[in-house]
Amino acid sequence: MDAAEPVWHLYSSPGELAEALADRIADALSEAISLRGLATLAVSGGRTPVGLFRALSRKRLDWPKVTAALVDERFVPPDDERSNARLVRENLLAGAAARLTFVPLYRPARTVDEAALEAARAIAGLKKPFDVVVLGMGADGHTASFFPDAPDLAALLENRDGRQVLPVTAPSAGEPRLTLPMQTIRAARLVALHIEGEEKRRVLTAALAERDRPVSAVFDRAGDGVQIYWAP
Ligand code: 6PG
């Protein structure tokens, strides 16, 4: 089955995008709850999603039936300013959304490899496929923690042994990372790629044409198209 075409949703401002994408996510979560009694969401970190998290936290839905996880995490403690779990706690777990169940990825292990094994056990109970996965993208074309300069990038993307959480070490990543595998990301019922700015739009357009960046692998999937959300 060929991958469906990506769908671009273009907005005039990050604020307008945040509200629209938050509505889309809230609708998908509510539909999941009505169909299956619960909903699962995985979100990315970085700077871009802060406005989206705040908009989503204001949406009215049955939040106690939602479990949120991270697409990826820096191998840092939850109080570290680089922590994605801290970003989610400070911006999404507010208001009504504070009643969702949040399952972080970071585990205080000796190595990121051990942390990945423990994180996999922590998310093993989450119902998959995820109903919603929200991705970001770096200007180098990385998404989640699949960095172009990761020495084992091909093996990480292939994930032949079917690991549920992957340890990543890459020069451009800063600290070691923990990431959901691309197979888990692509299997989500709704995959939203949220990017902002002209540079990232140019990088993504080229990555779609050349299929030469880690983010390109998100689009090598069967099923419904990836929903790209962009604002200047
Ligand atoms: C992270 C994210 C990562 C992010 C991109 C874009 O932990 O940093 O999961 O994949 O989506 O790096 O980050 P910005 O939104 O800060 O540009």
Per-residue pLDDT reduced to its tens digit, 28-57: 999 999 999 999 999 999 999 999 999 999
How high is the pLDDT of residue 5?
Answer: 86
In whole angstroms, what is the distance from residue 47 CA to residue 102 CA? 19
**Residue 126 domain-assigned (yes or no):** yes
In this structure, what CATH number is given to the domain that contains residue 158? 3.40.50.1360
In whole angstroms, what is the distance from residue 174 CA to residue 75 CA? 10
Half-sphere exposure of 75 (CA within 13 A, CB side): 25
Q: Other C-beta atoms within 10 Å of 90: how many?
A: 13
Does residue 65 carry a pLDDT above 80? yes
For the CA of 177, the nearest atom of ligand 1: 7
In the sheet with 227-231, reading across from the earlier edge strand, the strands are 7-10, 227-231, 190-196, 132-135, 39-43, 66-70, 101-103
For the CA of 200, the nearest atom of ligand 1: 17
**Mean pLDDT within 176-180:** 98
Does residue 60 carry a pLDDT above 60? yes
**Residue 2 domain-assigned (yes or no):** no
What SS3 class is residue 162?
coil
Query: Rounded to 5, what percent of the chain is helix, strand, coil?
Result: 40, 20, 40
How high is the pLDDT of residue 3?
Answer: 67
**Mean pLDDT within 147-153:** 98
What are the two backbone dihedrals, phi and then psi, of residue 135, each rounded to the nearest 5 degrees?
A: -110, 155
For the CA of 73, the nearest atom of ligand 1: 7
At residue 223 the predicted structure's pLDDT band, cuts being 50, 70 and 90, is: low
Does residue 155 carry a pLDDT above 80? yes
30 lines ligand 1 (CB under 6 A): no
> Which region holds residue 99: left if phi is over 0, alpha if psi is between -120 and 50, else beta?
alpha
**Residue 180 domain-assigned (yes or no):** yes
**Mean pLDDT within 79-87:** 98
| DSSP-assigned beta bridge partners for residue 68 | 41, 102
Nearest to 73 by CA among 194, 174, 152: 174
45 lines ligand 1 (CB under 6 A): yes
179 lines ligand 1 (CB under 6 A): no
**Residue 224 domain-assigned (yes or no):** yes
In whole angstroms, what is the distance from residue 154 CA to residue 148 CA? 10
Find the domain containing 51 and state its range.
Answer: 7-231
136 lines ligand 1 (CB under 6 A): yes
Q: Please tell me the total count of domains within the chain.
A: 1
Percent of residues, the chain, with pLDDT higher than 90:
95
Nearest to 228 by CA among 47, 10, 3, 2: 10
**Residue 45 domain-assigned (yes or no):** yes
Which residue has the CA at smallest separation from atom 3 of ligand 1? 144
E-strand ranges in the chain read: 7-10, 39-43, 66-70, 72-74, 101-103, 132-135, 166-168, 177-179, 190-196, 227-231
**Mean pLDDT within 144-150:** 98
Q: Which position has the token pair 């909903």?
A: 39
